[in-house]
Amino acid sequence: MNSLRTCVFPCAGFGTRFFPATKVIPKEMLPLVDKPILQYGIEEARDSGLDKLIVVTSKGKETIFDHFDRTAELERSLRERGKDELLAEVDAVSRMVDLIAVRQKEALGLGHAVLTARDAVGNEPFAVVLPDDVILAEVPALSQMRSVFEDTGRPVVALMEVSEEETSRYGIVAGELVSERRFRVTEMVEKPKENPPSPYAIIGRYILPPDIFPLLEKTQQGAGGEIQLTDAMAELVRQGDFYGYVFEGTRYDAGEKLGYLKATVDYALRHPKLGREFREYLKDAVL
C-alpha cells in the first residue's frame, strides 16, 4: 500500500446549516474571498501530489463540474476585450484538474458517499477531503498526513484538539500521542453524547486503504441515522495499526455561517491583492 494519487470529495450534502443561501447554490460553490470553497480542497489535494480527483455529488450540483470545465465563450470574450489577466485566471482554473463525477443517489451519510466512489477509486489507497473543513496551513494538511502514510503504510486521519463541549459534534478517537503530532488510534466513536475518549476530533482529511470498502458495505446506520465513515474506520482500527495526525494549521468549518465568516476574514487578510486594504477597513469597522 504505497502509491497514493486518488482523492475523493464528498459533495452530496444539502448544506442545511447554511440555509437559505444553499437552497439552490451548492455549499461547495460559495465563494471564500474569490474562489469557491471546493477549490481550496482541490488545490490542497493537487499540492499534496494527488491527481485522480473524484467528486461525489447529488442532484443540483452540476455547477461544480462547470467551474472546472473550459468556458470557450467566456474565454473568447475576454480575449477579444484584451482582459488578459482575467483570461489567465479563468484558464488556470479550467486547466487545473480533470474531475471524475460520481453520483450519490440517496443522502445516506458520509460512509455511504465514500462507498459510492468505490469503483472509481479501484483497489488503491485513497484520500478523502471534506470540502467544508477548510485548512489554512503552510504545508497542506494532506501533505503532512501523507508523510505519516508513506512512513507507516497505514491509514491516517487528521486530528484537532477540541473543547469538551464540542466533542459531540465530531468523530472522536481514543489512543495516545506517540510523538509530537502522531497519534496511535485504538478506538473511535462518532459524535459521542457523553464520555468522549479523548479531546482529539477527526477533521475532514483521511488516507484510507481500499479495505475500507467491504467494511462500509457492512456498516449499519449509526449516529444521526446515517452510514458513518467513522464506524467503518473503527472496524479498521481493530484490524491493525491506525494513525491520527494533529496537523499544523488552522481549520475552519466553512459549512456553517460563523465558521465561513471567520474563514472569509482570515483568507481575505492574507489575499495578495485585497489584504492590505481589507485590514485597514477592518480596523475601522471593529473600533
Asked if 231 interacts with ligand G1P (CB under 6 A), we say: no
Q: Which of residues 131, 171, 196, 222 is near ligand G1P by CB under 6 A?
A: 171
Kindly report the length of the chain.
287
CA–CA separation, 46 and 101 (whole Å): 17
Q: Does 190 engage in binding with ligand G1P (CB under 6 A)? A: yes
206 binds ligand G1P (CB under 6 A): no
Asked if 204 touches ligand G1P (CB under 6 A), the answer is: yes
Nearest to 126 by CA among 100, 89, 91, 161: 100
Please enumerate in sequence order all residues whose Cβ is within 8 A of that of 7, keeping only pairs 6 or more positions apart, or say none. Answer: 45, 50, 52, 53, 54, 126, 127, 128, 129, 142
Asked if residue 230 binds ligand G1P (CB under 6 A), the reply is: yes
Is 110 a binding residue for ligand G1P by CB under 6 A? The answer is yes
Structure-derived torsion over alpha carbons of residues 39, 96, 119, 101, reported in degrees to the nearest 10: 60
Q: For the window 34-73, what string marks contact with ligand G1P as x by the rule CB under 6 A? A: ----------------------------------------
Which of 65, 130, 50, 134 lies closest to 102 in space, CA to CA?
Answer: 65
243 sits near ligand G1P (criterion: CB under 6 A): no
* Contact between 133 and ligand G1P per CB under 6 A: yes
Span from 72-80, 96-104, 224-232, 236-244 in contact with ligand G1P (CB under 6 A) = 224-232
State the minimum distance, in angstroms, from the CB of residue 190 to ligand G1P.
5
**CB 258 → ligand G1P: shortest distance, Å?**
14
Options 39-47, 91-99, 198-206, 259-267: segment touching ligand G1P (CB under 6 A)? 198-206
In terms of DSSP bridges, do strands 99-103 and 52-57 run parallel, antiparallel, or are they unpaired? parallel
Asked if residue 219 binds ligand G1P (CB under 6 A), the reply is no
- What is the Cα–Cα distance from 272 to 275, expressed in whole angstroms? 6
155 binds ligand G1P (CB under 6 A): no
The two beta strands, 126-129 and 200-208, are: antiparallel
Q: Closest separation between CB of residue 132 and ligand G1P, Å?
A: 6
Question: By CB under 6 A, is residue 28 in contact with ligand G1P?
Answer: no
With CB under 6 A as the contact rule, which of the stretches 84-92, 117-125, 228-236, 272-280 interacts with ligand G1P?
A: 228-236
List residues binding ligand G1P (CB under 6 A).
Answer: 110, 130, 133, 170-171, 190, 201-204, 228-230
